[in-house]
Amino acid sequence: MPPTPTRRAATAVLAAALLAPLAACAGDGGTGAAPAPRSAGSAAPPADLTVLAAASLTNVFRTAGAAYEKSRPGTRITFSFAGSQELVAQVRQGVPADALVTADTRSMDLVKEDAGTPTVIAKNRLVIATAEGNPRKIATLKDLGDPRLKVVLAAPEVPAGKYSRKILDAQKVAVEPVSQEPSVRAVLSKVELGEADAGLVYRTDAATAAGKVDAVTIPDAQNAVAEYPAASLKGSAHAEAADAFVAWLSGPEAQKIFKEAGFQQP
């Protein structure tokens, strides 16, 4: 017996019901394309993250951290700032943390067994920091070789110290620093307090002390480029959230914050 109109209608309704979920999974236009991926960090669960970060990132990371927390309710970020060599020591000692950002790639390489794949999120350059008004009239790197000047540098194991020695050696400038500090922020502090006539710091550090120190530009041909790699740590108790934060640092919102703080784009 051929199917009646009523039976044909019921069959069509049943077929439509079975096909509807498949069509929904097919994506735009039913072509079978996968749904568009979510933006970095959008699917990460809220978490309390501890981020070990180079001292020269202190100001910009406080701004970036607040922006990240605001866009992700329930997430809280605690930063621990220090010289990169100190951060490396902390990771090796097993200090609980979720992500690491250093001021050079070499420091990150020292903990590659403990970290994920790093991504350079920003770059920086050195300047000569002097007392406000530059009373000693320092104009070039060669001026730092004057033995009458009190010059302070970051210690050789600190990224800023390595960069400083590199550019001074390249210009054949002999400097005997009155002190060698554990971080670039400590160098800046010595100049601010009048305990040194000059020091080599990152351009972004000098900018945070505007009105207290002057910054003498070093030509690019005589300068060094500092790179900041970021990576999540394998020992993190919040691996997904840590990965999301590191990914966000390379995104447009964070990059805008870095640029406004004077950092160069990676």
**Residue-wise pLDDT tens for the chain (266 aa)?**
444 444 444 444 333 443 343 333 333 333 333 333 334 445 678 999 999 999 999 999 999 999 999 999 999 999 999 999 999 999 999 999 999 999 999 999 999 999 999 999 999 999 999 999 999 999 999 999 999 999 999 999 999 999 999 999 999 999 999 999 999 999 999 999 999 999 999 999 999 999 999 999 999 999 999 999 999 999 999 999 999 999 999 999 999 999 999 999 99
Contact between 147 and 46 under an 8 Å Cβ cutoff? The reply is: no
190 sits in which H/E element: helix 184-192
Rounded to a whole number, what is the distance in angstroms from the first to the last CA of the chain? 74
According to the model, what pLDDT value does residue 18 have?
39
Would you tell me how many other CB atoms lie within 10 Å of the CB of residue 71?
12
According to the model, what pLDDT value does residue 233 have?
98
> Residue written as tokens 């008004």?
133
According to the model, what pLDDT value does residue 43 have?
67
Read off the pTM: 0.82
- Give strand pairing partners of 51: 79, 99
**Dist CA 183 CA 203 (whole Å):** 14
Contact between 199 and 188 under an 8 Å Cβ cutoff? The reply is: yes
According to the model, what pLDDT value does residue 45 have?
87
According to the model, what pLDDT value does residue 44 have?
79
